[in-house]
Amino acid sequence: MKILNLYAGIGGNRKLWGDEHEITAVENVPEIAKIYQDFFPKDKVIIADAHQYLEEHFSKFDFIWSSPPLSIS
């Protein structure tokens, strides 16, 4: 299964998915994306705006996980 992991952070829920899937993670903070890549070296990590990436690539994936950060006002 091809999974798109938006707002990936350092991987949180990703730990539960195992290694049998093709996973693309999108994170917009390079330092956080590096930590994610260290935890999950087989995943493809994209440094970009998650919403924009979703709009341009959604049809390439079987499952899309999106957990945007909370906005506190």
CA–CA distance, 18 with 23 (Å, rounded to integer): 10
DSSP state of 59: G
Q: Residue 16 to residues 19, 34, 48: CA-CA distances in angstroms?
A: 9, 20, 24
pLDDT of 2 higher than 90: yes
The 10 Å CB-count burial string (b at 16+, else e) for 13-44 is ebeebeeeeebbbbbbeeebbeebbeebeebe
pLDDT digits (tens, 9 = 90+) for 5-53: 999 999 988 999 999 999 999 999 999 999 999 999 999 999 999 999 9
Query: Could you give the 3-state DSSP secondary structure of residue 66?
Result: strand
Domains in the chain, CATH or no CATH each:
2-66 (3.40.50.150)
